[in-house]
Amino acid sequence: MESLCIVGNGGVSTCQAFTRLDTRVGFRPRAQLGFGCFVRERYKYGNLVIARSGRSEVGNSKDGNFAVENEKEEKRGGLILGPEMDSSGSVIGFNLIPPSGDGEVLESHEDATTGGTEEAEDIEGVEKVKTRVTYNIVFVTSEAAPYSKTGGLGDVCGSLPIVLAARGHRVMVVSPRYLHGSPADKNFAGASELDCHTKVYCFGGEQEVAFFHEYREGVDWVFVDHPSYHRPGNPYGDSRGAFGDNQFRFALLCHAACEAPLVLPLGGYTYGEKCLFLVNDWHAGLVPVLLASKYRPYGVYKDARTILVIHNLAHQGVEPAATYTNLGLPSEWYGALGWVFPTWARTHALDTGEAVNLLKGAIVTVDRILTVSKGYAWEITTVEGGYGLHELLSSRRSVLNGITNGIDIYEWNPSSDKHIASNYSVDDLSGKVQCKIALQKELGLPIKPDCPLIGFIGRLDYQKGIDLIRWAIPELLEDDVQFVMLGSGDPLYEDWMRATESTYKDKFRGWVGFNIPISHKITAGADILLMPSRFEPCGLNQLYAMRYGTVPVVHGTGGLRDTVQAFDPYSKGGLGEGTGWIFSPLSKESMLAALRVAMMTYRDHKSSWEGIMKRGMAKDSTWENAAVHYEQVFEWAFIDPPYIK
């Protein structure tokens, strides 16, 4: 019991006995030898819960304990008790406010989850303000741009940590140090080796790993070094397919990531045990299982929390059941990872279908689950989109959310993009037609500024709906239209692009491979961007396109449905609203119908088309906007106790 002084409106102070519920400490950005922090204390008197917050100077010792000096708070004296109300005007709690008004006020009412909600929770309406609670955040990922990148995962783990660090969190990113013997190796040139090697036990023995570190843009970039990461190819495989030892390589990453906050004195201080781990896809899926099975039973990481971010559920890290003993987990934890393939997916009649599934283990043991769009959060709970994990994910629906990815608005900015022929903005669109003409010239197409130019940028595989484009091209190119494609992947589709270009020399161009300047030029020069993906967890190209005033025509799935608003010419008194077209079902006929309506609008309704362009360009797709929603989930993660078997 403690005595807490409350000052009423009349200046009369009373002291009551309150029961301390908890004290929470969070970091602000690092200073030279210590951290500024916020101290949040909650007290209870009867049914009343109140909170006070103050500032302290904190030093974090190597074992993660905090030393708090709160002299300023003691000198401040009385606190004013002010009511907090919801949107209906009902009092839902109280805040203790310093008389000077310069202190930070934290919510005083009890945090609560929505419990048995039937759908993934909506995080709309979160106010975009400086974060009020800071955390020690550890991203664990197989790739992070600009050091390593094969797709959207690298973009997310290269951008979101920087934004969170700028908002006051202490952020570490743990990823492998890939050396492929290529020019990309220079990306790690700024990282220096730490005088800290650690040994982890897995795959039948001790494995020694080293750590490299670079402090850049407020983030600790930590790279796990081991000979298994030094080989030609990409992070996952080479021209002959996926590497056969990927389970070993990423299990090693997970073991090392669990040790990093405890042993690496970054900036003179370890991150300590009270961390928030953001584990990305199956490659990092072993982290929450390790925390629950090997650390927490012995009092380590008992206050840590884990959040799984699913970027693509189709990849789950499934290996034969016999490999479980290699993972360094106690034998009694097999059930968390155990997986049985359905009968139709087994290779022969004697195949029992038994396997271990690293992503399943993460779903079972994490505190919260995120996907990269709200639509995808719902899709993975369905039979069609769950890839065999839909029932498990449905059982965890109360902790499942979707947050749409942001984009790098500095790299993708039509007013300053160095890759395009002419810069332009939402206030002056005159440069966009110049970009179109320059693209037509560079690709050898006839210069026709008024001809609709459709673009496609992406992998040439089944997921991206390339087969639909292939079937639709002969019928589509009967019209006065030009079509440009950029991508690589399935050799069948690469050969088809080359053959189609020779057949339709004045209407079609296919660029096999990937080229960053060309992707910017197509995004700026095209009138329409086509994305007929079968499933799309988030999708970034439609966000880039809208920022450049290029109108997306997309299949209504996942993040595409979330981010593109269907054009309605009759809303708002005939002014119209919407940023593109959405077609469904996924068929050649519905795709062609949407494209024809878009082309008709482009040709015959210029004012409506300009409105669509400007609404897309004005859309807020920044990482700062996404970070606010992430912070709300961080707070929810710490409401409930961590996973304990």
State pLDDT tens for residues 9-40: 334 344 444 444 444 444 333 333 333 344 44
Model confidence at 83, pLDDT cuts 50, 70, 90, reads low
Query: Which top CATH class is 429-620?
Result: alpha beta
**44 pLDDT above the threshold of 80:** no
Extents of the domains making up the chain: 136-308+317-367, 429-620
Whose structure tokens read 């090693």?
Answer: 252
Q: Does residue 620 register a pLDDT over 50?
A: yes
Same CATH topology for 136-308+317-367 and 429-620: the answer is yes
Under the banding of pLDDT at 50, 70 and 90, the label for residue 58 is: very low
Q: What is the pLDDT of residue 310?
A: 97
Phi, psi angles (nearest 5°) of residue 397: -60, -30
The Cα 227–Cα 125 span in angstroms is 47
pTM of the model: 0.78
Mean pLDDT of the chain: 84
Mean pLDDT, residues 525-554 taken together: 96
Q: Is 135 exposed, middle or buried (0-12, 13-18, 19+ CB in 10 A)?
A: buried
Please give the order of strands across the beta sheet that includes 354-357. 318-320, 354-357, 338-340
Q: What is the pLDDT of residue 152?
A: 85
531: which strand partners?
554
Whether the predicted pLDDT of 43 surpasses 90: no
Q: Nearest 5°: phi and psi at 368?
A: -145, 160
SS3 category, 149: coil
CA distance 167 to 352: 50
Examine the pLDDT at 57 and tell me if it is beyond 60. no
**3 state DSSP class of 372:** coil
Give residue 575's pLDDT band: very low, low, confident or very high (50, 70, 90).
confident
Closest CA to 507 of 549, 454, 545: 454
Q: Into which CATH architecture does domain 136-308+317-367 fall?
A: 3-Layer(aba) Sandwich (3.40)
Structure tokens given for 531: 């994305």
Read off the pLDDT of residues 228-251 as tens digits, 9 standing for 90 and up: 999 999 999 988 889 999 999 999
Q: pLDDT exceeding 70 applies to what percent of the chain?
A: 80
Summary count for the chain: helices (H), strands (E): 17, 28
Residues facing 321 on adjacent strands: none
The two tokens of residue 603 are 């040709």
CA distance linking residue 393 with residue 127, whole number of Å: 29
Query: Which tokens hold the place of 577?
Result: 């609203």
Query: Which pLDDT score, from 0 to 100, does residue 40 have?
Result: 45
One-letter amino acid at 210 equals A
Cα distance between residue 50 and residue 20, in whole Å: 10
Q: Is the pLDDT of residue 380 over 90?
A: yes
Going by C-alpha positions, the residue among 408, 621, 622 that lies closest to residue 520 is 408
Q: Taking residues 328-337, what's their average pLDDT?
A: 95
Q: Please, are residues 555 and 586 in contact by the beta-carbon 8 Å criterion?
A: yes
